[in-house]
Structure 1
Amino acid sequence: MVILKAENISKQYRLGLVGTGTISHDLNRWWANVRGKEDPYLKVGSVNDRSTKADSDYVWALKDINFEVQQGEVLGIIGKNGAGKSTLLKILSRVTIPTTGEIKTRGRIASLLEVGTGFHPELTGRENIYLNGAILGMSKAEIKSKEKEIIEFSGCERYVNTPVKRYSSGMRVRLAFAVAAFLEPDILVIDEVLAVGDAEFQKKAIGKMQDISKGDGRTVLFVSHNMAAVKSLCTRAIVLENGISVFEGGTDEAVSFYLRRKEDNIVATFPIEFDKGKILDFKILDFKGNNSNLLLGEKCSFELKLYFSNPESKKINIRLQIFDKDEKLITTLNAFHHNANKILKNDIQHFRCSINNLRIAPDLYYIGIVILDLNLRTTLYNNNNFTSFVVESGDVFKTGKLPNKENLGVFLSDQEWTIY
């Protein structure tokens, strides 16, 4: 049975100003409506590509999205930041209305879109449980029957009679998820908020979502940048790109499609500007100093060339993070841990991180760059998908035997075998 259907969903926003537009635009819309004509501003607007300069006052955050969701299905919605995922969930949750199109649903919808969404900060955790239940249309008796389970699952029993404004972001997510899951909505809508919780809670939450879909036959819409979670939880997925649906199908196929598109799109063009500075160049060099694929067990280096407009006041730290194809963090290379962060004296500064024996298994990886001003405790630049690189198999143990990629896992450790 189809429990949710989206037909030609589009969402248009006006850039640069708070509000829907100017008086002249509103008059033009009114006059078109009087004459039985279409809104003239639905014919204008640029594609939602946040990396390009705007060529119109209007932008389509979503454009002509169509899909159906069956009862008991777990639908994943994946895409880069700014692809339109959260906007789509807000429309499905009735937080905002679409510019064009229609949403048809059966039953109650509970949504977990942002940390603390729907919670009143002055009310206690217990009072917010009852408030959210009432919003979902549940009676006091129904909520009371679930109250103990909600509090126990959230792990916030000690603070349940404390105002929510004193909760940490993790505690708010725990309680909000428990409320949304245990008050038995027909459709549960979850944005990328579970990333705020700790590893233990994320495992519990994913297990609960599996119980909701498989055991109770309820429907889940799930947005996440964690491809491993999407694969393990979802039965089908949609890939969004610049507000447009570019793929719909099985979870494995959707994730592979998304990762291929992401790889194709990672082409760094220098210089890249950030707050009071620029990235002038970034190189990934193999053991011969060539800009090519890296070799397992050999030396490699990452070189970053930066420009700062006001260097004398900055104590800079560089953090390089390596992610696998499922966007899981593999390792972090942090200048701070090696006392390589420094107060700059020159406007152009080179940073080099060298690895003498690369121990990451052969595969495709993505590297992120974080530039921090330690004096001001601010992040100047942060991009988890700065560029990609490939690690090829090599004689890591110096025995003349190349390891088999399928049997390696992710990381190879130093080891010594003794027979006695």
Structure 2
Amino acid sequence: MSDVVIRVENLSKKYIIGHQKQESYTSFRDVLSNGAKSLWHGLTSVCTANLDDRSEEFWALKDVSFEIKQGDRVGIIGRNGAGKSTLLKILSRITEPTSGKISIKGRVASLLEVGTGFHPELTGRENIYLNGAILGMDRSEIKKKFDEIVAFAEVEKFLDTPVKRYSSGMYVRLAFAVAAHLEPEILIVDEVLAVGDAQFQKKCLGKMEDVAEKEGRTVLFVSHQMASIQKLCQRSIWLDQGQVVSDDTTQLVINNYLNNSSGLSKISLRDRKDRKGDGKIRFTSVHFQNQMGENTTCFYSGQNVRILLFFTNNTQKRLNNLNIALAIDNQTGERITHLSTDVICSDLSNFGGDTDCIAVEINKLPLTSGSYGFTLFSTVNGVIADWILNAGLFEVEQGDFYGTGKLPPLMQGNFLVDYQFKTLLVNLSQINVSA
């Protein structure tokens, strides 16, 4: 018998996107007019299309084909809008393909987004049994795994609380524990693990390794964290604009993907289509300046750096609860730091419709030499306004960070720490030193 558990042949998914002219405001007259039009159309059964209304076809996936064997650990990578989540939803039978064929052999457990498969009104305990039933397990099978699931998720105190009251982190911990422990032949995990803390992410990666290596189960893993993909997956598939660009060993695919991503820095942010958000804020350009006020994308460790974030406020109104963030990744795409107005409680309450730039100032740049990518992110009242992954690149060269004339050794980490060694006169008889 063939050991292929997933076979995808010429898979395509089409969506119809409607566009309607957006007005800056809606008057009472517009409400009455639109209501009258709706009534007239309903009475006459004749609908005349608004000249401002139009629709277009969008192919989220186009002629995707691949095979996955039992026990494979496969990473799915690509930029926002590449079709990764659509592919997983089709494989999980959440949505139907437009064309193509899928053959799946075995029971599938999916963790695609916070709350998938959980009923918000049910408790954690009840949702464990519900998910087990969905996977086709009887009550005795679920009961054997119950204690293990609860211990892994670390939600013992809230087991009999409705999951609608769980934090996003608790939700994900329980959802992953259920998906990984109820013995599916195929485990599908989307970027949702990014919600959990670093320790839990490490725990999940270890569990997925065990599921694949020790239990011979198949894992499909979507992530923007290349370090996690490298650690878990021996093979990866790179999707771009709904098509397979590369399907090979993980290291080769990631190298090609990162090289391609570096080319995105040459595209104007105004023209970037792979962004998310409701558009209240739109980043338009980023300028890096050194301590002399000169525009540059190359710095020395220890320099003062200013990053100018230019954007448009499409509401033309004063925005409350605005958060602007810039995340920095190393050469492998691993997140190394996150600079956010929200975290440092920077007050942007005076942000008005005429403001179009915010400066991020970094004193004594603590990064070691290398190439770094950055991601731009903004929210208004907690809702994502603009989000651009791999928005650009900058370079860091070795510099005299410590002001001693000596350069730190290469390949000794990503960060430089300002520290001191001091000699102290200590009376050891006054210190309790344990062996």
Displacement of 1:419 after TM fit?
A: 8.2
Partner of 2:375: 368
Partner of 1:286: 290
2-structure distance, mates of 1:122, 1:354: 46
* Alpha carbons 1:315, 1:344 under 8 Å: kept: no
What one-letter code is carried by the residue in structure 2 that aligns with 1:173? V
1-structure distance, mates of 2:184, 2:135: 8
SS in 2 for 1:386: strand
Q: Which runs of 5+ in 1 are unaligned?
A: 18-54
1:405 corresponds to which of 405, 410, 416: 410
1:202 aligns with 2:201: yes
* Alpha carbons 2:321, 2:382 under 8 Å: kept: no
What one-letter code is carried by the residue in structure 2 that aligns with 1:301? R
Question: For residues 349 and 235 of structure 1, do their structure 2 counterparts lie closer, same or farther at Cα, with a shift above 3 Å needed?
Answer: closer
Alignment of 1:253-272 (within 5 A): 253-269=252-268
Aligned length: 380
1:10 aligns with 2:17: no
2-structure distance, mates of 1:151, 1:131: 15
Aligned sequence identity (%): 45
Alignment of 1:88-237 (within 5 A): 88-237=87-236
Partner of 2:391: 386
Displacement of 1:325 after TM fit?
A: 3.0
1:414 corresponds to which of 408, 418, 423: 418
Displacement of 1:358 after TM fit?
A: 1.6
Q: Which runs of 5+ in 2 are unaligned?
A: 20-53, 273-277, 425-435
What one-letter code is carried by the residue in structure 1 that aligns with 2:373? Y
* Alpha carbons 1:315, 1:343 under 8 Å: kept: no
Displacement of 1:334 after TM fit?
A: 4.3
Partner of 1:351: 358
Displacement of 1:162 after TM fit?
A: 2.6
1-structure distance, mates of 2:174, 2:345: 39
Displacement of 1:177 after TM fit?
A: 1.3
What one-letter code is carried by the residue in structure 2 that aligns with 1:411? F
What one-letter code is carried by the residue in structure 1 that aligns with 2:301? L
What one-letter code is carried by the residue in structure 1 that aligns with 2:266? V
SS in 2 for 1:202: helix
* Alpha carbons 2:300, 2:397 under 8 Å: kept: yes
1-structure distance, mates of 2:282, 2:86: 31
- TM-score, length-scaled by structure 2: 0.79
Partner of 2:46: none
1-structure distance, mates of 2:126, 2:157: 14
Taking only aligned residues, the RMSD between alpha carbons, in angstroms, comes to 2.8
1-structure distance, mates of 2:270, 2:219: 42
- TM-score, length-scaled by structure 1: 0.81
Question: For residues 390 and 178 of structure 1, do their structure 2 counterparts lie closer, same or farther at Cα, with a shift above 3 Å needed?
Answer: same
1:322 corresponds to which of 301, 317, 328: 328
1:331 corresponds to which of 297, 319, 337: 337
1-structure distance, mates of 2:137, 2:226: 34
SS in 2 for 1:410: coil
2-structure distance, mates of 1:275, 1:269: 17
SS in 1 for 2:244: strand
